[in-house]
């Protein structure tokens, strides 16, 4: 490659390079703005994702946990209710 | 007696060339800068030590079957190490500030001018016969201006493996010197009142946006510039792992143990390129000077772009955040914040500067893709 050829190549690369960086990032700005707009309007209807992320795959286990919790809750409820009834009757 | 003579012949005293001696001292200097002055110690400690190891006379650690050469050919020649590091960087990056104000991407684009101006500078030097740079060499030197270690190493390994040692050392040392190089340029290009400009509080960015953004970026890269796909692909992958929050274990590994492991081997492998015959050369001096110019020009063009944007759009933009467009995350953003506080103690620019800062990472990866595409083809 002759010296002047190298200069032209360098100049070409500089113009193409800078031009392309700007085109790419401009497109990215447009795409990002559009994306944000779509998601913001979508989230107005659906609500946002929780900050700590969507529930993990262990979610399969969590309903089972919930069931046992429900069972616990029911037991507590029954205890409280029977205590209340007992008190109500004894009060009479 | 023969045995004794043989033992003498293999000692360092007998075999050491002056060049190796100087390189061992340079390796020690890098260690000193890292340990005492705290210059990017995570990289300069392995690089400096690797440099010392590579120059032990007769041991041949950096050639043939030497362990450093094996690290080099496995990790850097193949391009694997810089890409893995980039994945980790992706997993540590928060695109929130960028998404809150996408226009800051322009600042990240403008700061890449440093890369191309330096490339031109190297070509001009070659034209006048001062240095013997090819276009590929010039491109690899220019990328120092991207202020992004892994990107520089990736491009240099593809385009100019001979210069890799000098380019890696230059780019990491200048990243450490960001707090010294940037402020004078930033002060010179802005007025006191411009430095006092307060920016609007950033809006809240939802998790969904943060998850979609890396995918959007990936699609754009896939369609427009496949040559940048290795770098930005790994970057987006790392970021998606972090943001989607369902693979925390993978994301934590990527940002901690994996990136640390790879950094050790990357540093040693780069150190292996600090051999006397390749490094002790006027070319290295040229690379150091050009790299500095690349940094300075990148900083200046980022600031100037911010001033232009400030004129064009209504939202006020403090020109100081333009300088953060030369990646160097998060050092450049911290410098911006510091200068902002000097002018107005209540003006916190850190989060505003993180936008152009991560935009600079994307910008320099795109520039790297173009250089590889143009020169490699």
Q: For B280-315, how does the pLDDT look when each residue is reduced to its tens digit (9 = 90+)?
A: 888 999 999 999 999 999 999 999 999 999 999 888
CA distance A15 to chain B (A): 8
Q: Is B3 a member of any domain?
A: no
- ipTM here: 0.89
Q: What sign does the CA torsion over B81, B296, B122, B230 have?
A: positive
**pTM, full prediction:** 0.86
Query: Chain A window 4-23: which residues touch B at a Cβ cutoff of 8 Å?
Result: 4, 6-7, 9-11, 13-14, 16-18, 20-22
Range of the domain at B279: 15-88+97-376
The neighbour count for residue B91, using CB atoms within 10 Å, is 25
Instruction: Identify whether B352 is part of a domain.
Output: yes
| Count of the separate structural domains present in chain B | 1
In a domain, B363, yes or no: yes
Average pLDDT of B257-270?
95
User: For an interface test with A, which of B109, B115, B251, B377 has the most A Cβ atoms less than 10 Å from its Cβ?
Assistant: B109
* Pairwise CA distance, residues B344 & B325, whole Å: 22
Hey, of B151, B366, B367, which one would you mutate to test binding to chain A, going by the most A CBs within 10 A of its CB? Answer: B366
Q: Pick from B38, B60, B37, B34: which is nearest to B48 by CA? A: B34
In B, minimum Cα distance to A52 occurs at: B245
For B3, the token pair is: 């045995």
CA distance linking residue B189 with residue B339, whole number of Å: 13
Residue B1 belongs to some domain of the structure: no
Task: Give burial (CB, 10 Å; 0-12/13-18/19+) of B361.
Answer: buried
CB contact (8 A) between residue B220 and residue A31: yes
Q: Is residue B2 part of a domain?
A: no
The model's pLDDT over A41-77, given as tens digits with 9 standing for 90+, comes to: 999 888 777 766 555 444 444 444 555 566 667 777 8
**B9 lies in some domain:** no
- Is residue B323 a contact partner of residue B336, using CB atoms and an 8 Å limit? yes
Q: Say yes or no to pLDDT of B247 above 90.
A: yes
How many angstroms separate the CA atoms of A30 and A15, rounded? 22
Task: Among B86-90, B136-140, B200-204, B297-301, name the one with the lowest average pLDDT.
Answer: B200-204
Closest CA to B180 of B344, B33, B361: B33
Are A21 and B109 contacting, i.e. CB atoms less than 8 angstroms apart?
yes
Element (H, E) at A57: none
């Amino acid at each position: 490659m002759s010296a002047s050829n190298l200069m032209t190549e360098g100049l070409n690369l500089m113009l193409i390079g800078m031009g392309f960086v700007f085109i790419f990032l401009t497109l990215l700005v447009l795409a990002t703005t559009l994306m944000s707009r779509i998601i913001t309007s979508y989230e107005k209807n659906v609500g946002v994702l929780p900050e700590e992320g969507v529930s993990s795959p262990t979610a399969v286990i969590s309903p089972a946990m919930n069931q046992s919790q429900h069972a616990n809750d029911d037991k507590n409820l029954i205890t409280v209710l029977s205590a209340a009834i007992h008190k109500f009757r004894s009060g009479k | 007696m023969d045995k004794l003579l043989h033992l003498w012949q293999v000692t360092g005293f007998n075999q050491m060339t002056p060049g190796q001696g100087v390189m061992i001292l340079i390796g020690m200097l890098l260690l000193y800068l890292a340990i005492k002055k705290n210059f990017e110690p995570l990289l300069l400690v392995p690089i400096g030590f690797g440099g010392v190891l590579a120059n032990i006379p007769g041991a041949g650690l950096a050639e043939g079957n030497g362990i450093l050469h094996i690290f080099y050919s496995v990790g850097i020649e193949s391009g694997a190490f810089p890409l893995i590091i980039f994945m980790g960087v992706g997993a540590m990056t928060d695109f929130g500030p960028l998404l809150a104000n996408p226009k800051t991407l322009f600042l990240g684009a403008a700061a890449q001018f440093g890369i191309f101006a330096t490339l031109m500078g190297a070509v001009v030097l070659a034209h006048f016969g001062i240095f013997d740079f090819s276009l590929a060499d010039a491109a690899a030197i220019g990328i120092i201006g991207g202020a992004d270690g892994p990107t520089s190493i990736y491009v240099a390994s593809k385009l100019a493996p001979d210069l890799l040692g000098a380019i890696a050392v230059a780019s990491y040392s200048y990243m450490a010197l960001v707090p010294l190089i940037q402020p004078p340029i930033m002060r010179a290009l802005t007025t006191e009142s411009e430095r006092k400009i307060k920016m609007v509080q950033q809006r809240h960015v939802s998790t969904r946006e943060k998850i979609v953004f890396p995918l959007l970026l990936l699609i754009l890269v896939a369609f427009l510039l496949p040559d940048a796909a290795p770098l930005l692909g790994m970057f987006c992958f790392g970021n998606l792992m972090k943001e989607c929050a369902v693979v925390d274990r993978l994301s934590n590994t990527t940002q901690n143990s994996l990136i640390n492991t790879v950094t050790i081997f990357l540093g040693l492998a780069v150190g292996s390129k600090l051999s006397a015959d390749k490094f002790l050369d006027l070319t290295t001096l040229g690379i150091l000077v050009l790299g500095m110019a690349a940094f300075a020009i990148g900083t200046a063009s980022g600031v100037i772009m911010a001033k232009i944007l400030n004129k064009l759009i209504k939202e006020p933009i403090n020109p100081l955040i333009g300088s953060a467009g030369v990646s160097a995350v998060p050092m450049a953003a911290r410098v911006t914040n510091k200068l902002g506080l000097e002018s107005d103690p209540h003006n916190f620019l850190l989060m505003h500067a993180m936008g152009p800062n991560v935009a600079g990472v994307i910008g320099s990866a795109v520039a790297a893709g173009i250089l590889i595409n143009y020169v490699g083809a």
